[in-house]
């Protein structure tokens, strides 16, 4: 159906009456002429009158058509499209998303996709009037992009947009745009998304059909590129120890249809190359490459793996950091005498510094200096000791509780209530075996080559029945065949409590002589030094904690790298810990250090997100099919074909304009009138 932008001009059709009146009344004056041959004049008069009437009628029709075409041209007729805004009234709010992720560095027709996207954005805003409002969205989600802008302000802000390590899903972008639209209720809301529509970030299934917002997708063509990249890395064991070998596994992925052979992989630690390896990888394959090196010194180590692969290079390095301690301090509080099994274990491993004290000679002020406190076969636990243990756990310490043969249930359970852990009930004298081992617990993770529950496990001759009178967070490390706990772990404040249901005594169990005893005790003692986060991902909010240190009023914490970049992180102190938040201030992949008073406190490593390393994209045809199959009525693919993007948008906003056609028709009719008058004799 044809609509009119200026329907009042249709009153001009009454002008058709002017040529009609002129042709109805012939105002020309006639002269009389005398001829001798009257019959000839009658025949001539008849023929002339016949042709004259036909000519005048044709001129009249052409004039009527010409006037009608002029009137219709001024009334601005158009054919509205089903997905246009031509039937909407009010001011337009146009939100434009520019994809500025790493994948937009690709080249198409000798131009970067990112530059093409910015030019597309300019074409879009030029299709609107100066009275409309505009909104700019990028992957950075910056505060300055949360406001409505004029056309000139938008152009100025667009110049400052740069490629960013951040990436966003399409659903996140649309949610950001809808937040701006919610500020203006009575407006025409149009959202444009300009992107290469990488499959890893295009979550079309999460888009919802909202008729109040019209979404237009502007896909940019990207050339298929091959890419080999370092995806991640992890340790073969959770602890680094000095003068020992450690193996780091590196996951490599091949996003291409080509195979590669003998690709070099380099490991650099503290600016020195420590290992080099190579790998072969098939098309669309991922492999894990083990790299082994030796730890020669203690302290913080900053490292990275590197491969060489062009043209995509941002994912060719993976940074990570780790800390190697000299000796781990362990405090053993004995009930009567030291345990031979415990002492023999710690004496054989030089990684530990062990202090044995009797329960009557405890120095409570030294608790915070130890990574692990062992309560070894105490008959009873005093209220003073229970209170200090609670403080120690609040500071993030770890406790191993080994009961004696004759415990004071009341004092033990008073401690359990104080630190919210398991209580001791009664002694079960039935012989039984350990039936299950929790391979997923951090203590046993990577200890066994394969997770086989049929392995030989310790036997128990008698044990304490453990229970809880309240809801607690508990993990079973070793479980008896009847479902009771043999060795369990509970979370207590900022620390962990490991509870054994037996004394380490051959009359109760063969656990101290069993092969599983050594890795169990080793990993419990080293728990505070586990490398939980080798690295972090840029763009994700990152918070980390350290134990409280002595601080002065003048000095501040700084996070810095070796390239003179530094900033003061946000931090707060609570429960004897210091919590830090980077607040997304780190935008470059690198190794960083947390410094205080010119002292290196800990290492921090940040890497770019690998979500965009898989270079698979949706084509315009794919997107069109997805829109149809998902029934997204408010979502349309914007394809300009042979028109500019601005012309396509104008056509969308105002429908198919016909006024130019009627201008041409009016000129044609006037031309035909002149031809008829001039050449019709």
Residue appearing with tokens 């560095």: 105
Q: Report residue 356 CA to chain centroid gap.
A: 50
Does the pLDDT value for residue 661 go beyond 50?
A: yes
Mean pLDDT of 88-114: 85
Mean pLDDT of 367-382: 93
Mean pLDDT of 206-210: 77
- What is the percent of the chain where pLDDT is above 90? 46
Two structure tokens written together for 206: 């999460």
**Mean pLDDT lowest among 223-237, 349-363, 465-479, 596-610:** 223-237
pLDDT of residue 532: 61
pLDDT of residue 17: 81
Concatenate the DSSP letters of all residues of 233-291 into one string: EEESSS---TTEEEEEEEEEEEESSS-EEEEEEEEEETTEEEEEEEEEE-TT-EEEEEE
pLDDT of residue 83: 52
Residues in a beta bridge with 194: 98, 218
Mean pLDDT of 554-569: 90
Cβ neighbours for 76, distance < 8 A, ≥ 6 positions apart: 4, 5, 6, 9, 657, 659
Higher pLDDT, 30 or 211: 211
Higher pLDDT, 195 or 657: 195
Mean pLDDT of 363-377: 92
With beta carbons less than 8 A apart as the criterion, state whether 267 and 303 touch: yes
With beta carbons less than 8 A apart as the criterion, state whether 494 and 394 touch: yes
Mean pLDDT of 209-232: 84
Q: pTM for the complete prediction? A: 0.71
pLDDT of residue 29: 46
With beta carbons less than 8 A apart as the criterion, state whether 128 and 94 touch: yes
Hey, which bits of 468-598 come out as E strands? 474-480, 485-492, 495-500, 536-537, 543-547, 557-560, 566-567, 570-574, 577-581, 590-596
């Amino acid at each position: 159906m044809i609509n009119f932008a200026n329907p009042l001009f249709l009153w001009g059709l009454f002008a058709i009456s002017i040529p009609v009146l002129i042709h109805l009344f012939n105002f020309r004056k006639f002269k009389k002429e005398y001829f001798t041959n009257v019959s000839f004049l009658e025949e001539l008069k008849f023929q002339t009158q016949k042709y004259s009437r036909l000519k005048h009628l044709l001129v009249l029709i052409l004039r009527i058509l010409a006037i009608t075409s002029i009137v219709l041209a001024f009334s601005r007729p158009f054919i509205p499209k089903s997905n246009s805004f031509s039937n909407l009234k009010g001011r337009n709010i146009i939100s434009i998303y520019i994809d500025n992720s790493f994948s937009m560095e690709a080249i198409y027709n000798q131009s970067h996709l990112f530059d093409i996207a910015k030019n597309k954005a300019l074409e879009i805003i030029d299709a609107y009037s100066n009275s409309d409002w505009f909104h700019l969205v990028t992957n950075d989600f910056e505060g300055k992009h949360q406001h409505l802008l004029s056309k000139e302000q938008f152009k100025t802000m667009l110049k400052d947009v740069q490629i960013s390590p951040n990436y966003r899903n399409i659903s996140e972008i649309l949610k950001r745009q809808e937040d701006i639209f919610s500020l203006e209720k009575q407006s025409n809301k149009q959202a444009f998304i300009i992107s290469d529509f990488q499959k890893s970030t295009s979550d079309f299934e999460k888009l919802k059909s909202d008729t109040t917002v019209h979404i237009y997708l502007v896909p940019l063509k990207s050339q298929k590129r091959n890419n080999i990249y370092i995806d991640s890395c992890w340790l073969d064991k959770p602890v680094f120890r000095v003068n020992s070998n450690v193996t780091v596994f590196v996951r490599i992925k091949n996003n291409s249809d080509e195979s590669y052979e003998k690709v070099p992989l380099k490991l650099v630690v503290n600016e020195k190359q420590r290992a080099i390896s190579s790998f072969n990888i098939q098309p669309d394959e991922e492999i894990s490459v083990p790299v082994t090196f030796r730890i020669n010194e203690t302290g913080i180590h900053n490292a990275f793996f590197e491969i060489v692969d062009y043209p995509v290079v941002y994912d060719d390095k993976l940074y990570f950091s780790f800390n190697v301690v000299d000796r781990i301090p362990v405090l053993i509080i004995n009930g009567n005498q030291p345990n031979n099994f415990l002492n023999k274990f710690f004496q054989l491993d030089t990684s530990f510094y062990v202090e044995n004290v009797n329960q009557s000679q405890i120095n409570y002020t030294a608790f915070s200096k130890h990574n692990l406190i062992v309560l070894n076969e105490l008959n009873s636990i005093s209220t003073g000791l229970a209170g200090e243990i609670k403080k120690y756990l609040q500071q993030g310490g770890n406790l191993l509780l080994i009961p004696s043969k004759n415990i004071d249930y009341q004092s033990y359970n008073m401690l359990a209530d104080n630190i919210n852990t398991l209580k001791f009930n009664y002694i079960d004298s039935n012989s039984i075996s350990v039936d299950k081992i929790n391979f997923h617990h951090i203590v046993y993770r990577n200890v066994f080559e394969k997770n086989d529950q049929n392995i030989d496990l310790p036997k128990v001759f008698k044990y304490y029945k453990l229970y809880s009178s309240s809801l607690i967070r508990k993990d079973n490390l070793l479980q008896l065949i009847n479902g009771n706990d043999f060795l369990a772990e509970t979370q207590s404040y900022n620390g962990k409590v490991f509870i054994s249901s037996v004394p380490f005594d051959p009359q109760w169990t063969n656990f101290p002589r069993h092969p599983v005893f050594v890795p169990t005790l080793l990993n419990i003692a080293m728990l505070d030094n586990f490398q939980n986060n080798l690295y972090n991902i840029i763009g994700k909010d990152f918070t980390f904690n350290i134990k409280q240190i002595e601080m002065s009023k003048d000095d501040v914490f700084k996070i810095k790298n070796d390239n003179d970049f530094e900033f003061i992180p946000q931090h707060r102190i609570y429960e004897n810990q210091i919590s830090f938040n980077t607040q997304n201030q780190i935008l470059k992949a690198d190794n960083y250090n947390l410094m205080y008073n010119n002292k290196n406190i800990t290492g921090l490593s940040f890497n770019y997100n690998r979500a965009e390393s898989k270079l698979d994209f949706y084509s315009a045809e794919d997107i069109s099919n997805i829109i149809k199959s998902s029934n997204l009525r408010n979502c349309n693919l914007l394809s300009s074909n042979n028109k500019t993007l601005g012309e396509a948008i104008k056509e969308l906003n105002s429908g198919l304009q016909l006024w130019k056609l009627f201008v041409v028709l009016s000129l044609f009719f006037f031309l035909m009138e002149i031809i008829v008058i001039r050449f019709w004799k």
